[in-house]
Chain A
Amino acid sequence: MSRLDLALRFYLALIVGFIFLPIFVSLLFSFNSDRFPTLPLGGFTTHWYQTIFADPDFWQAARNSLVVASSTALLATALGFCTAYTDYRYSFRGKSLFLAIILLPPTIPLIIIALAMLAWFARLGISGQIPSIIAAHTVLTAPFAMAIIRLRLSQIDESLEAAAWNLGASEWRAMRSVILPFCAPAIGSSLFLTAAVSFDEFTVAWFVSGLNKTLPVHVLEIVQGTIDPQVNAIGTLVFATSMTLVLIAQALIFFKLQRRAA
């Protein structure tokens, strides 16, 4: 192994450590019996998990997060699919502008989107409600859904849909029996990925959630009050959930898409 190779590996290890060490520490202290996060560690305990599981506020926040994440996933993926299909199937004047606008939200700073959403929802009189968080998260995640499904559609043999029509399928039937099955891995991947993004999104949720807190917002409120190892426990749970969703999304998209490309 060359010296450069070694250096690169060391650098990579540092980056991974930088990202994952805090999460690991959080995981570690979530099972630590001491109240303050100091070394050496105290005894092993599940006390903090018991505390949060006994806290109705945590369950309310978890329910909210779950509802928001699953609704967002469905809405964003449906929107993303329609947009990707429009892009695949039709060409029209101003299409590149249309696509640019569709893909814009992830490039805007979260704080600006969050403020704009808050102002807009307040004007409509629907701020601080679950549907408003869902709407905001859908705006944020739909471009990801669109990108994933578009990637899949770019691999389709263009005769496939026409072949279905040719064999007696109406446009809707062909959509259902050819386009959707073909896109199934990408749609699955998009559902999990958008759910994951929504599940641990904090900034926008904090601005628009009001009293209907999601888990990340709930965590912040605990931190603001006290130093409480509960936070580590919740953080670990949120991380585990998001990671699971993302890994499923990755597995779906890589397994299927790589296999086609090979």
Chain B
Amino acid sequence: MPQLEFRQVERRFPVKRDLGDLLARRDRVWLHAVRGVDLAVRRGEILGIVGESGCGKSTLARIGVGLQPADGGAVLFDGHPLDGPDRAGRLQMVFQDPYSSLNPRMTIGTQLAEVVAHYQPQLSRADRAARVQEILAEVGLVPETALKFPHALSGGQRQRVSIARALCPGPEILVADEPVSALDASVQAQIINLLKRLNRDKGLTIVFISHDMNVVRYLCDRVAVMYLGEIVELQDSAALFAAPAHPYTRALIAAVPDVRRPQPLAEPISGEIPDPFALLPGCRFAPRCPLAEPACQAPQPMRALGPSGLVRCWKAVPAT
């Protein structure tokens, strides 16, 4: 059974109508940020969710940890719907900007102790402090960090603190939304190593949301690619990068600049992510896709790809 499962998860926002729309009695228009997402997160894996801005990856993550409600579908934890504080203790989130997620007026030790106290109210003061020290050590911070304020820390240290805070309740799944995007490469490597260590040593399941294909390739066991609210491909990381099946995945990988070669080999895709309001019923990538045919305008279900992959493109799987 998957540890965390998204079933037909939907998230949509009403689009503001102007007076003209109202007078013409035009129907309310919805923007589907997340559309019919099925995704199963396996215990102990690092699952990457990649895509460009506006693809819905962050919204999906927030729905997963319960920070945003879903408008349809279900999120199951160990097969059961999970609500309230119970969910918070078992699923924790790490954000891109550690500075805005820490209290600037409280020492690191106090902030972490507060979180520990919330989840383990039975602990004495001394035990709480000891637990905080334990967690700081786990994320590679020296004990004195507890006495410091967030502004006295470097960007990398702050991101370690926000990971430490997420670890306080003893979660089983960590959802990390672009946790290294704001960091310099030399510091980014520290945080990536830390996440990998937490996964290997503690068996922590990690859902890693990122736009950086190089980081995802290195860190993740499996990767889901999102485009305009839908998952278009899901594969083991090695298979995805060796043989991306969906034309969008191929374009995404081809566009990543590589320090080892001067020019990307593939032709770039044209255009940008289209207006999400005016979408065709079929493949959402078709307007930019070099392989598009009339048949792409039919709705595209996910199709099996190899033993464990899925792809939302009829041209990507061999005809049977």
Do A and B belong to a common assembly? no
